[in-house]
Amino acid sequence: MAKYSIFNIIKNAFNEDKNWARAWRDPEPKKSYDVIIIGAGGHGLASAFYLAKNHGIRNIAVLEKGYLGGGNTGRNTTIVRSNYMLDENAHFYEKSLQLWEQLSSELNYNVMFSQRGVLNLAHTDSQIDAITRRGNTMRLNGIDAELLDEKQIRKLMPYLDFSNDVRFPIKGGLLQRRGGTARHDAVAWGLARAADSLGVDIIQNCEVIGFEETGNKITIVKTSRGNFNCGKVGFAVAGNTGHLASLINLKLPIESHVLQAFVSEPLKPMIDHVVTFGAGHFYISQSDKGGLVFGGDIDMYNSYAQKGNLPLIEEVVTAGLAMIPSLSRLRITRHWGGVMDMSMDGSPIIGKSPIDNLYLNCGWCYGGFKATPGSGWVFAHTIANDEPHSLNKGLNLERFKKGRMVDERGAGPFPNRH
């Protein structure tokens, strides 16, 4: 595959850009694969890429029921950060952030990773205590964090509501400067191109509809495009995990819920960072095209529909207006939903399963986009070695049985509360 470079761009410009090769193949599926990854979102593609690159396994298929990147990868608000407190999450997400910092050059594809900074606002004294504790924990873990007071925030983000008579005055915030956003489609496309060039077969329009087992092993993966023999199988299907697991009678500590996101009409540059509200659930950033990209809570009830409901839209917008009153005259041009794999403690499950050759990558809740490269890195390691990487050891499925939750919010076993 041709490497993208400045010389390539100039050369192709002479032919009116008619001679670019396609970025990845559309291969006829083989009969048998050493590893089958189900789901060509960012996680499935990153896992295949690192399996090929770091572990030398090349006979890999990634099966996708629709088009690659059409799931949550292509539907999310693209916030990338590593501001976690518990050890199991903190080191994993920090590894992922470090991989993001290299990803464009690693893939030879611009994923438009923009470290514009992520700021979490605090509105009460107890919230200041909480973000101070979080920031200190992050710094002890070697992760960047800065506590800002109201004055400093006013300078960075003059559009926030700083008046004193508001219900939730801004008292301070926790800033992670290395956090930011990335271009979601580019992440899927860049990973697909890089995995494909290492020989990975990406098979689209290929829905997995069942499995055949011998002993405690999956031997055949049944799909809408025929049956494949398999060595090992990895699930990376986000909100569809519950359904896929039910095809092999596996019950998981996961519920599927719909999360909506919104884009406004394009504006001149206004919001330079990612900002989150502390008194309600609301997060916002501005895309390179000028649209404000924002979101809030899930719709709260189990759902496999990629569409949400109106009361939640009202709730999200109310929180947004409390934080940035000038949004009130803005028009929303698009909104959509994605199906989230909400886990029982709010943290991901990435590791082995009760079936010998099946590996699970799920439970990402709202936050799996930022995990994309890290998830691929440790999932590839887990599949190749049949044991977890040190970074995902604590994120296993057994933790629920043993009572070792990784619950950042302390919200308990209620998936819609995380």
Ligand X SMILES: Cc1cc2nc3c(=O)[nH]c(=O)nc-3n(C[C@H](O)[C@H](O)[C@H](O)COP(=O)(O)OP(=O)(O)OC[C@H]3O[C@@H](n4cnc5c(N)ncnc54)[C@H](O)[C@@H]3O)c2cc1C
Q: Which amino acid is residue 219, in one-letter code?
A: T
Residue 99 DSSP code? H
- Please tell me whether residue 80 adopts helix, strand or coil conformation: strand
- Contact call for residue 310 and other proteins (CB under 8 A): yes
Q: Which residues pair with 227 in a beta bridge?
A: 222
Residue with Cβ nearer other proteins (4 or 400)? 400
Tokens of 56: 């030398």
- Contact call for residue 344 and other proteins (CB under 8 A): yes
Q: At 379, which helix (H) or strand (E)?
A: helix 372-385
Binding ligand X (rule: CB under 6 A), the pick from 84, 366, 377, 379 is 366
- Contact call for residue 370 and ligand X (CB under 6 A): yes
- Contact call for residue 229 and other proteins (CB under 8 A): no
Largest CA distance in the chain: 68
Site pattern 288..307 for other proteins (x: CB under 8 A) = ------------xxxxxx--
- Contact call for residue 172 and other proteins (CB under 8 A): no
Q: Which amino acid is residue 41, in one-letter code?
A: G
Binding ligand X (rule: CB under 6 A), the pick from 24, 33, 37, 41 is 41
Output the smallest distance, CB 35 to other proteins, in A.
26
Contacts for 249 with CB less than 8 Å, ≥ 6 apart: none
- Contact call for residue 234 and ligand X (CB under 6 A): no
- Contact call for residue 263 and ligand X (CB under 6 A): no
Instruction: Please state, in angstroms and rounded to a whole number, the distance separating the CA atoms of residues 317 and 208.
Output: 38
Tokens of 335: 């909104």
Tokens of 99: 């991989």
Output the smallest distance, CB 385 to other proteins, in A.
27
Q: Which residues pair with 341 in a beta bridge?
A: 256
Residue with Cβ nearer other proteins (343 or 382)? 343
Output the smallest distance, CB 297 to other proteins, in A.
12
Binding ligand X (rule: CB under 6 A), the pick from 48, 192, 208, 380 is 208
Residue 114 DSSP code? B
- Contact call for residue 39 and other proteins (CB under 8 A): no
Q: Which of residues 148-177 bind ligand X (CB under 6 A)?
A: none
Helices (H), 56-145: 87-107, 125-140
- Contact call for residue 346 and ligand X (CB under 6 A): no
Output the smallest distance, CB 277 to ligand X, in A.
14
Cβ proximity of 179 and 115 under 8 Å: yes
Tokens of 15: 């032919």
Q: At 210, which helix (H) or strand (E)?
A: strand 208-214
Instruction: Please state, in angstroms and rounded to a whole number, the distance separating the CA atoms of residues 39 and 71.
Output: 9
CA 229 vs. chain centroid, Å, equals 29
Question: Which stretch, 37-45, 128-136, 252-260, 321-329, contacts other proteins (CB under 8 A)?
Answer: 252-260
- Contact call for residue 320 and ligand X (CB under 6 A): no
Residue with Cβ nearer other proteins (123 or 399)? 399
Q: Tell me which residues touch ligand X (CB under 6 A).
A: 38-44, 63-66, 70-73, 75-79, 207-208, 236-238, 240, 244, 259-261, 295, 338, 340, 364, 366-370
